Amino acid sequence: MRRKAPTRSSRKPQAPSAQPIEVTLDSFNQDGRGVTRHAGKTLFVRNALPGERVLVQLTACHARYDEGETLELLSPSSDRREPGCVAYGQCGGCDLQHLEAAKALELKQQSVLQQLQRLGKVQPETLSAPITSAAWNYRRSARIGMNQRQRDQQLLVGFRRRGSSKLIDLDGCPVLQSRVEKLFIQIKHVLAEETELRHLTHLDLHLGDDSGVLCLRITRPLNSALIQRLTALAVELNLALVTEDNDGQLAWLYGCAEDLTYSPYAELKLHFQPGDFLQINPEVNRQLVARALEWLAPAPGQHLLDLFCGLGNFSLPIAASGARLSGVEGSADMVKRAEENARSNQLGHCQFYSADLSQDIRAHQWYRQTYDAILLDPPRSGAANLIPALAALKTQKILYVACNPAALARDAALLAAEGYRLTQFCVADMFPQTSHIESLALFQPQRR
């Protein structure tokens, strides 16, 4: 009997060779790895830069590509630099500290433009200057893990290791804002007197402009002595202190929610709660909002639609221009806070709606209105399902804020098929020291 050939899905990945190989890297991909060709396949190499010759240990072999780690730099790039963090390469956070910051931004922008051209078949008519910030001490939100190791009861405080669910113990993080850079050491000191810590799982940090909150995730109530020590730390850092239990219930131990604010633009102040989504980099966010306003140019008498509006990060600056604003968000709690933020900033010409934007939107009352422009800031999955409905509104401007270049490229192709062209584009370096890049893309109808 003739045997049936194995299907592609039944083929197991080949075991990588134990023998290191020498390669020269040709380019750079969207996740920060060097790229070359070897043995007829594409090879992705971690910690390798374009132009470098390196000794590589293969770590995974697939049907069409292989993966590897740099063992030795044989001919380093002039763009290479010493990482600024002692845990770099072990921590799962930053992945581009070995690359000079300006060159990293150049390569990230190049990667997005290549994806727009290759996947979206579009090119921007105008390429604007990138939006940037300080390369260190920029981050205002983080989830800090805590774990008491079983073998020796040592408390680990830090982030997850690269490619692992396990924690790496840290004393600090140089990309966190300077006022909390040593929070890891301070937490260890506060918890040093506790013998049983497995009821503490992680600490969420959220910083406003002059405020912030430490939200401690717990599986059972804290004892009074620990509450006292944690409160003293919160007072020292000028941060509120909250616990969150298994049911998601918050208990305020110090401070209050009304104190948590940040400004996305000019004199506006937005209130937020623990767990609300905030853009990680406040300086880049302010510039991003300002450029969105510049490109949209909202004016009194106009009506704009903001999809995935959140707390009102873009909505309220648009409304402050005098234009009418309709904002839509999936979370009813976020809609409530957007409404509260509009009231506290005395912006009466805003309407906010809760809707599942992953579904067909055409039956909603807010969709059946006339809009002069649309802004959308979707999650990493993008907004492919929305494009036909948005194009049917025939607005003069669609401004897309993207956190995933591949999703943007796909959606840009869909907009082009609906008769829109990419008129202005820029990248925003929201996460320096990482391969992550955000983009701002303005689409307008094709010229007749």
What is the per-residue pLDDT across 317-347, written as a single tens digit (0 to 9) for each?
999 999 999 999 999 999 999 999 999 999 9
- pLDDT tens digit string along 69-116? 999 999 999 999 999 999 999 999 999 999 999 999 999 999 999 999
Give the residue ranges of the annotated binding site: 85, 91, 94, 173, 279, 308, 313, 329, 356, 377
Of 219, 254, 289, which marks where a domain is finished?
254
For the question of residue 215 being annotated catalytic, the response is no
Query: Looking up tokens 């390369």, which residue turns up?
Result: 135
Q: Give the β-pairing of 373-376 and 303-307.
A: parallel
* Residue 136 confidence class, pLDDT cut points 50, 70, 90: very high
Classify residue 7: in a domain, yes or no: no
The answer to whether residues 161 and 118 belong to one domain is no
Domain final residue pick, 239, 254, 269 = 254
Query: Does 127 share its domain with 149?
Result: no
Identify residue 34 by its one-letter amino acid code.
G
The rounded mean pLDDT for the chain is 94
Detail the residues annotated as belonging to a binding site for S-adenosyl-L-methionine.
Answer: 279, 308, 313, 329, 356, 377
pLDDT at residue 359, as a whole number: 96
> Based on the domain organization, do 284 and 433 belong to the same domain?
yes
In a domain, 369, yes or no: yes
Q: Same structural domain for residues 284 and 207?
A: no
- Are both 117 and 167 inside the same structural domain? no
Q: Say if residue 285 is in the same domain as residue 429.
A: yes
Residue 234 lies in a domain: yes
The count of other CB atoms within 10 Å of the CB of residue 55 is: 14
List the catalytic residue out of 215, 309, 403, 426.
Answer: 403
- pLDDT at residue 224 in the model: 95
Give the DSSP H/E element, type plus range, for residue 246.
Answer: none
- pLDDT value, residue 11: 54
* Residue 14 placed within a domain: no
Q: What are phi and psi of 256, to 5 degrees?
A: -150, 160
**What is the DSSP code string of 374-387?**
EEE---TT--GGGH
Residues marked as binding for [4Fe-4S] cluster? 85, 91, 94, 173
Burial (Cβ within 10 Å: 0-12, 13-18, ≥19) of residue 301: exposed
| Cβ-Cβ contacts under 8 Å for 139 (sequence gap 6 or more) | 173, 175, 176, 177, 280, 281, 431
Contact 282, 262 (CB under 8 A): yes
Which domain CATH number covers 28?
2.40.50.140
Q: Is the distance from CB of 160 to CB of 144 less than 8 angstroms?
A: no
Same-domain pairing of 284 and 327: yes
Q: How far apart, in whole angstroms, are the C-alpha atoms of residue 270 and residue 264?
A: 8
Q: Calculate what percentage of the chain has a pLDDT beyond 90.
A: 90
Give the DSSP H or E segment for 241: strand 240-244
Give the whole-angstrom CA distance, residue 33 versus residue 67. Answer: 10
Residue 222: DSSP 8-state: P
By the 8 A CB rule, do 264 and 316 touch?
A: yes
By the 8 A CB rule, do 375 and 319 touch? no
Q: In what order do the strands lie in the sheet with 324-329?
A: 126-127, 420-428, 438-445, 397-402, 373-376, 303-307, 324-329, 350-354
pTM of the model: 0.93
Number of domains within the chain: 3
416 three-class SS: helix
Residue 293 inside a domain? The answer is: yes
Give the C-alpha separation, 72 to 75, whole Å: 9
319 and 441 part of one domain: yes
237-294 pLDDT tens trace: 999 999 999 999 999 999 998 999 999 999 999 999 999 999 999 999 999 999 999 9
Residues 250 and 310 in one domain: no
Residue 180 covered by a domain? yes
**166: domain CATH number?**
2.40.50.1070
Residue 43, domain extent: 21-80
Residue 321 and residue 239 in one domain = no
Q: What is the pLDDT of residue 385?
A: 97
Please report, for residues 103, 331, 414, 437, the alpha-carbon distance to residue 44 in angstroms, rounded to integers and kept in the order given: 19, 38, 29, 19
* Residue 439, domain CATH: 3.40.50.150
From the list 300, 237, 238, 314, the residue with the least C-alpha distance to 270 is 314
* Residue carrying the six token digits 């509006």: 309
Q: Is residue 271 part of a domain?
A: no
Backbone angles phi, psi at 60, to 5 degrees: -160, 140
Shared domain for 123 and 68, answered yes or no, is no
Grade residue 181 by pLDDT with cuts at 50, 70 and 90: confident
Q: Which two tokens stand for residue 207?
A: 């910083």
Inside any domain, residue 260: no
Reading the block at residue 268, the tokens are: 């506006």
Q: Within this chain, do residues 304 and 441 fall inside the same structural domain, yes or no?
A: yes
- Mean pLDDT, residues 398-405 taken together: 98
